[in-house]
Amino acid sequence: MKTIDTRELADWLDASLQASRFKDYCPNGLQVEGKPRVGHIITGVTASEALLRAAIQRGADAVLVHHGWFWKNEDPRVRGPRRTRLALALHHDLNLFAYHLPLDAHPQWGNNAQLARVLGLMPDCDTTGAPLTCGPDNLIWLGTAPGLPDLQALSQRVQQRLGRAPLVIGEPDRALKRIAWCTGAAQGMLDDAVHAGADAYITGEASEPTVHLARETGTAFIGAGHHATERYGVRALGEAIARQFGIRVEFVDIDNPV
């Protein structure tokens, strides 16, 4: 089986995702060091116990996720579920790679880019071909929904493609010219989407104030699921690793209704 040096893989990922340019809520990159060489990677959305056990069962050398460990302001003590997860990784010599905001933002493999592909959204681009963005760290993408004239049609497409009924705030016949989207827990960026002139904003989650802001501004809101909107970036990144290095990469979807 073909393998690659763990440090070489970490350097390639850091450079490809431009990890150093983000001020994130967690460390990006190699979070837990395991085997010195990697020939088999399991990718998934979150480094949960279930994903780690799936990687161990499949004989993987590394786990690559969007949601890793060591988040800002969380309890740093190693006990309970945290102890179990860390013990599994260390006992089985698993490398844990995690990329949060860098994976959201990547123009090709990122969560926003991949959600656009899955939903058939067309990103607006500048003169260089880069996607037009707004909001904190330019994480919100802007574009159109070709063939989807109103909110009802967009909502139906979201449900069909993501496999779950979204939370929808707005009139079904709301005409759509400009769409904004940012995967995951980006409901706090709805105001940025409003100021960008979006007719509808798609993200993963909703908070209590989200409903009022959507109603009062007339910008439709679609909460399509945190996990459901972020399954595609890490999978695309894994496929890119397989092409680049010729090693085995498998995506494992540990479903989460949130």
d(CA 95, CA 89): 7
User: Which two structure tokens, joined as six digits, stand for 4?
Assistant: 């690659």
Q: Which two tokens stand for residue 92?
A: 């089985």
**65, 43 Cβ separation under 8 angstroms:** yes
State the alpha helices, DSSP H only, in 65-150: 81-91, 101-105, 111-119
Annotated binding site: 66-67, 104, 226, 230
State the DSSP string of 163-219: TSPPEEES-TT-B-S-EEE--SS-GGGHHHHHHTT-SEEEES---HHHHHHHHHH--
Rounded CA-CA distance 21/100 in Å is: 12
Residues placed in the known binding site for a divalent metal cation = 66-67, 104, 226, 230
Provide φ and ψ at 105, rounded to 5°. -90, -15
For residue 202, the cross-strand partners are 181, 222
